[in-house]
Amino acid sequence: MGEKVLLSGNEALAEAAIRAGCRFFYGYPITPQGEILEHMARRLPEVGGVFLQSESEVSAINMVYGTAAAGKRVMTASSGPGISLMQEGISFLAAAFLPCVIVNVMRSGPGLGRVRPSQADYLQATKGGGHGDYRVVVLAPASVQEMADLTVEAFTIADRYRNPAMILCDGILGQMMEGVDLPSPTHLGSLPPKPWATTGAENRPRNLVLAAPLTDDELIALNEELGNKYRNVQEREPKWEAQLLDDAELVIVAFGSSARIATDAVLKAREDGMKVGLVRPITLWPFPTEAFDDLRERVKHYLVVEMNNGQMIEDVRLAAPADAQVRHFGKGGGWVPSSQDVYDEILRMCRKGSL
């Protein structure tokens, strides 16, 4: 590991990207991701990189497309409304098999919304977002350390599958400061080669980066290839954290900030004798269905804690046993639960006597 420093989540993420070998950042100012853009503006010129403030998020994601086509590690960051504007570009990146990292520091919507923390973009991030049959690998950090570590992981996964990867977090994770072990800087020469990149046809046959094939049959073949790739991702990449599941009768499922808050509630409930555990999906797509395999026979009660009106609950319902009770605890619009709120909800469920 590198060094331990005190950083905000946004700064840790940005610095980790540079250490992962990202030398190109294109972005448009939007709260609450501002520190990422500003850190990149300050640091990238120091390491011989390029920071460019674009005229819109539409332009930013297309600059990402160009730099990814040129074979370089590249990132952009935004929040809800900006990520919506990028969806066309993300679809094109997926169609053209281009790797990149996109950060969504979520705010509450819909529409302009407000900048308070929220998990309102879960469905947009995990179910496609743009047009066409594609997926984006979505990683959900729950600490400043993970803001750094999962960013490095996102670049690795993006290159491995030649597909966009997304960091889905919120203003709590972006703004809060914690000690973080920054990853060691990557030597640019050690990055995976990209022989497919359009860098000029010198001493090789020409390369093409096409977001559309020529014929109907080729498009069917391309979709097949995407399908196979995504099945491969689903087999190899699901990640989650499990806590206190051995004898659990009620399992809390939460990601990111709400998982952080729910963890405190689970620990307190345990102290008070309630048999509660926690599953925290780290990859939101692929959703870690495997986390629920061992629970299938014995856990019939699930509580999904989300800062939205109920989005991840759909994936939990698919992963949990068919006869399980899966309940949602959450609200949209910038509501943040306290650990006491989550504890009280756990208590209510336990008192009902159904456990």
Smallest distance, other proteins to C-beta of residue 59, A? 4
Interaction between residue 175 and other proteins (CB under 8 A): no
Interaction between residue 271 and other proteins (CB under 8 A): no
Interaction between residue 64 and other proteins (CB under 8 A): yes
> Near other proteins by CB under 8 A, which window of 53-61, 155-163, 285-293, 344-352?
53-61
Q: How many CA atoms lie within 13 A of 88 on its CB side?
A: 7
- Applying CB under 8 A, among 10, 62, 78, 257 the residue interacting with other proteins is 62
Return the CA Rg of the chain: 21
Residues 180 to 209 in contact with other proteins, rule: CB under 8 A: 198-203, 206-209
Smallest distance, other proteins to C-beta of residue 24, A? 6
The answer for residues whose C-beta is within 8 angstroms of residue 200's C-beta and 6 or more apart is none
Smallest distance, other proteins to C-beta of residue 52, A? 7
> Near other proteins by CB under 8 A, which window of 86-94, 247-255, 274-282, 322-330?
86-94
Smallest distance, other proteins to C-beta of residue 349, A? 48
- Applying CB under 8 A, among 46, 55, 216, 247 the residue interacting with other proteins is 55
Interaction between residue 44 and other proteins (CB under 8 A): no
Query: Contact 289/238 with Cβ under 8 angstroms?
Result: yes
Query: Contact 56/88 with Cβ under 8 angstroms?
Result: no
Task: Spell out the long-range contacts of 220-224 with Cβ–Cβ below 8 A and sequence spacing 24 or more.
Answer: 222/95, 223/133
Q: Provide the 10 A C-beta neighbour count for residue 245.
A: 17
Smallest distance, other proteins to C-beta of residue 55, A? 4
The answer for residues whose C-beta is within 8 angstroms of residue 293's C-beta and 6 or more apart is none
Q: Tell me how far apart the alpha carbons of residues 154 and 122 are, in angstroms, rounded to a whole number.
A: 17
Q: Provide the 10 A C-beta neighbour count for residue 80.
A: 23
Smallest distance, other proteins to C-beta of residue 191, A? 13
Give the per-residue contact string, 13-42, with other proteins (x = CB under 8 A; - = no): -----------x-x----------------
The answer for residues whose C-beta is within 8 angstroms of residue 231's C-beta and 6 or more apart is none
Query: Contact 9/147 with Cβ under 8 angstroms?
Result: yes
| Residues that contact other proteins, how many (by CB under 8 A) | 40
Query: Contact 219/212 with Cβ under 8 angstroms?
Result: yes
Query: Contact 258/330 with Cβ under 8 angstroms?
Result: yes
- Applying CB under 8 A, among 65, 287, 302, 343 the residue interacting with other proteins is 65
Q: Which is nearer to other proteins, 86 or 303 (CB)?
A: 86
Interaction between residue 347 and other proteins (CB under 8 A): no
Q: Which is nearer to other proteins, 177 or 210 (CB)?
A: 210
Closest by CA position to 312, among listed 257, 352, 264, 273:
257
Q: Which is nearer to other proteins, 6 or 212 (CB)?
A: 212
Q: Which is nearer to other proteins, 70 or 267 (CB)?
A: 70
Q: Tell me how far apart the alpha carbons of residues 188 and 3 are, in angstroms, rounded to a whole number.
A: 20
Query: Contact 163/97 with Cβ under 8 angstroms?
Result: yes
> Near other proteins by CB under 8 A, which window of 210-218, 219-227, 260-268, 300-308?
210-218
Q: Tell me how far apart the alpha carbons of residues 350 and 355 are, in angstroms, rounded to a whole number.
A: 6
> Near other proteins by CB under 8 A, which window of 27-35, 64-72, 260-268, 339-347?
64-72
Which spans of this chain sit near other proteins (rule: CB under 8 A)? 24, 26, 50, 52, 54-56, 58-60, 62-72, 74, 88-89, 92, 96, 198-203, 206-212, 214
